[in-house]
Amino acid sequence: MYGSTKAVVRVFGKGDSRIFEQTRGVKQGSALSPRLFGILVNDIVEFLEKRWAPTVELGNRMISAVLFADDMALEAKTARELQILIDLMAEYLESKKLRLNLGTMEIMIFNKGGRRNLVENEKFRFKGQEIKVVEKAKYLGFTLTPNCSWKEHVSEMSKRGEAAVGAILLAIVQNWYQPESFIIKKDIMQKVKDFPTAHIQLSVNFPDKLES
């Protein structure tokens, strides 16, 4: 654990706050976060599977949850099964005296058609609080959609690449030309405007759908 953690709040245009000590939580990106997660919830999968038989097949085994670092995803085939797993998770966390940040919890319904296969107005709840059902979610850096298509993820990565290359080119152009040479800079930027997207589309070959 940390011996001492100090922080400041920086407000744009107004400077920094006084230095204060942090007595809760871990630092952003700290290796301590996944380690603590692993220590505290190491037996959660065993807890879930002793009380509810997994119904989702991954590779050659049945699973009810997948964990990586400090992320966890519950897996179920029906809305009823998922709610049971959520209730069991609530029971587990209560037994460990742990609290869940509901703001980081999302539900996505996967199916081949890409549409929700739910009874109208189906709701999922954690200790009485409703959990939002989403049409797009990011898990371990990958953008997921209900029909398991690569398109959304590739599109997002393409936009990020375009923005990054555009920023680099702008910095280069600003160093090459004086402010009065804006017309030249504009011409150069126009010529390379579509480069990142075209490059990604031509050099990366993705399957249409994720394999189960």
Residues in the chain: 212
168 and 117 inside one domain: no
Indicate yes or no: pTM above 0.85. Answer: no
Mean pLDDT of the chain: 77
pLDDT of residue 91: 94
Q: What is the domain range of residue 172?
A: 151-203
**Dist CA 50 CA 106 (whole Å):** 24
Q: Is position 81 within any domain?
A: yes
The stretch 133-138 carries a mean pLDDT of 85
Task: For tokens 């919830």, name the residue.
Answer: 41
Residues 38 and 121 in one domain: yes
Tens of pLDDT, residues 15-32: 888 888 887 777 777 777
User: What is the share, in percent, of the chain residues with pLDDT greater than 90?
Assistant: 11
120 and 65 in one domain?
yes
Both 37 and 112 in a single domain? yes
| Shared domain check, 116 and 70 | yes
pLDDT at res. 199: 41
- Give me the amino acid identity at 190: Q
pLDDT digits (tens, 9 = 90+) for 158-170: 888 888 888 887 7
* Strand ranges in 98-155 using DSSP code E only, listed in sequence order: 106-107, 125-126, 129-130, 132-133, 137-139, 142-144
Whether the per-residue pLDDT at 120 is higher than 90: the answer is no
pLDDT at site 21:
85
* Domain total in the chain: 2
Q: Confidence band (pLDDT; 50, 70, 90) for 177? A: low
Whether 127 is in a domain gets the answer yes
CB under 8 Å to 166, separation ≥6 — which residues? 189, 193, 196
Looking at the structure, tell me whether residues 92 and 35 fall in a common domain. Answer: yes
Render pLDDT for 81-117 as a digit per residue (tens, 0 to 9). Answer: 999 999 999 999 999 998 888 888 889 888 765 555 5
